[in-house]
Structure 1
């Protein structure tokens, strides 16, 4: 008797209305195109215990913004997954990191960016965390990483000498000068689809 091989689960994203309520799901593989619907995402800035930020260079195989430097990790919580659990899961999958002191700093951040006709359109709360673990990269997501002084990175982004992803630039402009010591925002300020139930 021959066994059947299960198909790998398709990664899905949560579709949103303009107020941040969930209105459906879509396969991640097909959601990004010229008219990408608004969907739920996150961006996480991970620091070590010396206060350095972990910067990631997007894999060269990425469909949008390949090879650009950006914040530590970005991703999409799965439908039905608690928001913070989704952040922890994706950071571990992409970077192999365990997160400590995970906090939301920009609960209502959203953006739209386009590259070669493919649009990113996300409500993308921004979080900060620390880690004691060393990165183990998923090469499908991350080309390379580097630990860097936050002050140096921030000043380079703000003065335009540091080339980063469009969402990272907007986030650095909006983040506190010292995000590592900034207090977290209440989870009820997240978009409705990301709030604890």
Structure 2
């Protein structure tokens, strides 16, 4: 990540308001901005979990879903997912399927730093080894989706706040993540419709 990387600021309806440097938006008064979350699955339906690098500004060392990030201004969300999967995990994927087009959350760390994101969620299926980038990822683990989802739903797994909110919504899509039906792209927030 470069210090001049920009994120897209949005209003509550998902319309773009402009951009801001990524390094400036994660603070005690974080403005709502466009992001994404992705869940990577293998052919057996196991989900790839990652532990965020210990030096990350937000939720360092916390286990979470496969990959999260921000689209660059003018970049489609599915392209942003592919870019970050390659950078963070060394993964090349054929496509990213939109699952939760309107997911949004706000979470506050114990030190007062806030995440405040309009964060559509994607599913990606891969058949390749993971090569974690230590600048982003401290550790990875594959887990059967059913076991992971039940652990999150029953409060048995310590997981990032956004993942804790996403899993119940994903679980409602069905027990087999490989058969989830993608959402239509026109359900994305306006700022993400390129």
Query: Which runs of structure 2 are paired with 1:104-119 in the superposition (5 Å)?
Result: 104-115=98-109, 116-119=111-114
Total equivalences in the alignment: 189
Q: Is residue 136 of structure 2 the alignment partner of residue 136 of structure 1? A: no
Q: Deviations over 1:17-50 (max 9, x none)?
A: 1110111111111110111000000000000112
SS of 1:117's partner is coil
Matches of 2:26 and 2:11 in 1, distance apart? 16
Aligned Cα RMSD in Å? 1.1
Cα gap change, 1:92 to 1:68, in 2 (>3 Å) = same
Q: CA–CA distance in 2 between the matches of 1:63 and 1:81?
A: 24
In structure 1, distance between residues paired with 2:102 and 2:163: 15
What residue in structure 2 maps to residue 82 of structure 1? 76
Give, in angstroms, the shift of residue 133 of structure 1.
1.7
**Equivalence for 2:56:** 62
Q: What TM-score, normalized by structure 1, do the two folds share?
A: 0.93
Cα displacement (A) at 1:96: 0.8
1:74 partner SS: strand
Q: Distance in 2 between matches of 1:88 and 1:107?
A: 17
Match of 1:145, SS?
A: strand
TM-superposed CA distance for 1:141, in Å, is: 1.0
Q: Does 1:14 align with 2:8?
A: yes
Runs (4 or more) in structure 1 with deviation over 6 Å come to: none
Instruction: Decide which of 156, 179, 182 is 1:181's aligned counterpart.
Output: 179
Distance 2:145 2:35 in 1: 23
Structure 2: where are the runs of 5+ without partners?
none
Matching of residue 33 in structure 1 with residue 31 in structure 2: no
CA contact (8 A) 1:98 1:132 kept: no
Q: Which moved more, 1:160-169 or 1:174-183?
A: 174-183
Give 1:179 deviation, angstroms: 2.7
Q: Which moved more, 1:97-106 or 1:155-164?
A: 97-106
- In 2: Cα distance, 1:145 partner to 1:108 partner: 27
Work out whether 1:46 is the aligned partner of 2:46.
no
Counterpart of 1:5 in structure 2 is none
Contact kept in structure 1, 2:145 and 2:177, CA below 8 Å: no
Instruction: Measure how far apart 1:85 and its partner are.
Output: 0.8
* Structure 2 match to 1:195: 193
Q: What secondary structure is seen at the aligned counterpart in 2 of 1:87? A: helix
